Amino acid sequence: MPETAQDDPLRSALFTDLYELAMAQAYEVEGMEDQAAFELFFREMPAKRNYFIAAGLDDVLTYLEGLHFTDDDLIYLRGQGQFSSAFLARLKNLRFTGDVYAVPEGTAVFANEPLVQVVAPMLEAQLIETLVLNQVHFQTVAASKAARVVAAASGRTVVDFGSRRAHGTDAALKVARTSYLAGAAGTSLVLAGKRYGIPVFGTMAHSYIQAHEDEAEAFAAFTRLFPNTTVLVDTYDTLAGVRKVIELSRRLGEHFRVSAVRLDSGDISTLAGQTRRLLDSAGLGHVHIFVSTEMDEYRIAELRASGAPIDGFGVGTRMAVSDDVPHIDMAYKLVEYAGRPRIKLSPNKVTYPGRKQIFRMIEGGWMARDLIGRHSEVLPGEPVLRLVMSAGKRLPVGHADLNAARLRASNEQDRLPNALRGLDPSERPYPVEVSDGLRRDLEDLKRQVMQQR
């Protein structure tokens, strides 16, 4: 088998589509070595989202800093038969030497706004497309889903429980990271806790209860070992489980330290109410109720609206795969080469030419509208894209601070127009306009291309 367990895909120059390498060789042969600018953006806001929260930049910059082909990579490529020795020698010494402009992680973003802008020699800028898209697309989709879940929980604790059904190991880590970025309290995934320094949560599964001959015995043993734990009560019958917790509290008196019960099945709203009443009438008003089955922002909003006395939500699958919007039409497009703006005119896929900047107008503390202009234009509003990497070196502003991104995501949502903050599609989408300059550039270029044909 050609498998090499050592390849970390996030560190591998071969995490790229073959056409990137084919084009790179063509650029080499044709001497097309000028500077190119590519922009990453999505074309349309899906009906089920009012905004996105940008994420994934940190992994992109780490990848760019370390980009290189190993000998092993080059041997593999040589075996493909389509790459010349000269080109492979070129790859051997290739490093990323370009500049990167980007919106900081945690920023609210909208359709057609560049999230990442890469300015680099053509060959380098082209080769990195696959990884840049792979990371920014998914992390942005995941952070944005999590932001909705956190908003629906309105102050109640949200914990990511999605690692088992996220799409592979990288997705599980990124869901943990982006949920935290979007305001979740933490994750169940231990490796994410280690890697990102975020809180990890978890106590027991049904298997623990099942493995004991008796549920009450399981509760007693576990709480003896872990004070202030959460007890899972629904393995056989939720309310019977709650009563066993209450019996335990009577038996242990002041030594009883259970901090919460978890409900994971059945009619959660009704069961939470009944559980609350049982606990309260047993003097256990301080024991919280945590729920965790088939949660997402819609379900949480429903439960909150029902008045169910729930203190926290374990949110798994639906958040982890962003099941209502598992993908957006994000693309990485050439906008400038050799100092000249470039466009594409494929039906429904027209792109504005040239490097851009986003200008964000704030009015009375609220986001009022964005204007996408030429990068060189001076327009009203805060410029959102920042230089985060220069000549292949990450700048201080490009260094990941997950907590700073988390704070930014929270502040951004606080200044979003109210209509956009709900779960339902807003009737008044956030206004994103295109500057007159940029509009003229598109028309001019369109005319030129048409004339050529």
Nearer to its own copies, 122 or 371 (CB): 122
Q: Minimum Å distance from CB 439 to its own copies?
A: 19
Residue 119, beta-bridge partner list: 37, 99
Please check whether residue 396 is in contact with residue 104, taking contact to mean a CB–CB distance below 8 angstroms.
no
Least Cβ distance, residue 233 to its own copies (angstroms): 10
Tally of CA atoms within 13 A in the half-sphere of 211 that contains its CB: 7
Quote the least distance from Cβ 3 to its own copies, whole Å: 5
CB under 8 Å to 230, separation ≥6 — which residues? Answer: 203, 204, 258, 259, 260, 261, 262, 288, 290
Nearer to its own copies, 214 or 280 (CB): 214
Q: How far is the CB of 420 from its own copies (least distance, A)?
A: 25
Task: With beta carbons less than 8 A apart as the criterion, state whether 161 and 315 touch.
Answer: yes
Q: Which of 137, 194, 213 is nearest to 171 (CA)?
A: 137
Among 156, 173, 133, 121, CA closest to 392:
121
Query: Is the Cβ of residue 306 or residue 426 nearer to its own copies in the bound state?
Result: 306
If the CB atoms of residues 195 and 382 are measured against its own copies, the closer one turns out to be 195
**Residues 226 and 220 sit within 8 Å (Cβ to Cβ):** no
Query: How far apart are alpha carbons 31 and 127 in whole angstroms?
Result: 16
Nearer to its own copies, 16 or 426 (CB): 16
Min dist CB 379 to its own copies, Å, is 26
| Strands 312-315 and 288-291, bridge-based pairing | parallel
Which of 291, 259, 304, 289 lies closest to 159 in space, CA to CA? 291
Q: Which is nearer to its own copies, 18 or 362 (CB)?
A: 18
CB-nearer residue toward its own copies: 43 or 439: 43
Q: Least distance (Å) from its own copies to the CB of residue 243?
A: 9
Are 373 and 391 in contact by the 8 Å Cβ rule? The answer is: no
- Shortest Å distance, C-beta 190 to its own copies: 4
